[in-house]
Amino acid sequence: GAVVSQHPSWVICKSGTSVKIECRSLDFQATTMFWYRQFPKQSLMLMATSNEGSKATYEQGVEKDKFLINHASLTLSTLTVTSAHPEDSSFYICSARASGRTVTGELFFGEGSRLTVL
């Protein structure tokens, strides 16, 4: 199957700093990528949908200025957590839908990035 790579896998930062997480589709083009947040022992919560070359669509309750999403190419989307605080600590997962695979709607997930804000 297709491979989605997330980097970094783990990141620890100080409160007030910004952290960037990358999501890359390695062997396919992804016009649409999704960012999720997962709290311990909970399901995934969709944060935003990013489309290549356009602004991301954020879910209700997700701060756009807090979680900056950029999808500048067909293989890369980034999530930047700005001015991070301890409550932003979480597991962030991206997924990508391959171009042309809209019929089956198959999503491919990254390995996730665990953010810890001290």
Say whether residue 95 binds another protein (CB under 8 A).
yes
Q: Which position among 34, 35, 58, 67 is part of the footprint of another protein (CB under 8 A)?
A: 34
Say whether residue 104 binds another protein (CB under 8 A).
yes
Give the Cα separation of 15 and 71 in Å (integer): 26
CB of 111 to another protein, least distance (A): 5
Q: Which position among 66, 80, 114, 116 is part of the footprint of another protein (CB under 8 A)?
A: 114
Say whether residue 102 binds another protein (CB under 8 A).
yes
Cβ-defined contacts of 110-113 (< 8 Å, 24+): 110/4, 110/5, 110/6, 110/23, 111/5, 111/6, 111/9, 112/6, 112/9, 112/38, 113/6, 113/7, 113/8, 113/9, 113/10, 113/11, 113/21
Binding site for another protein (CB under 8 A): 1, 4, 6, 9, 32, 34, 42-44, 46, 49, 91, 93, 95, 97, 102-112, 114
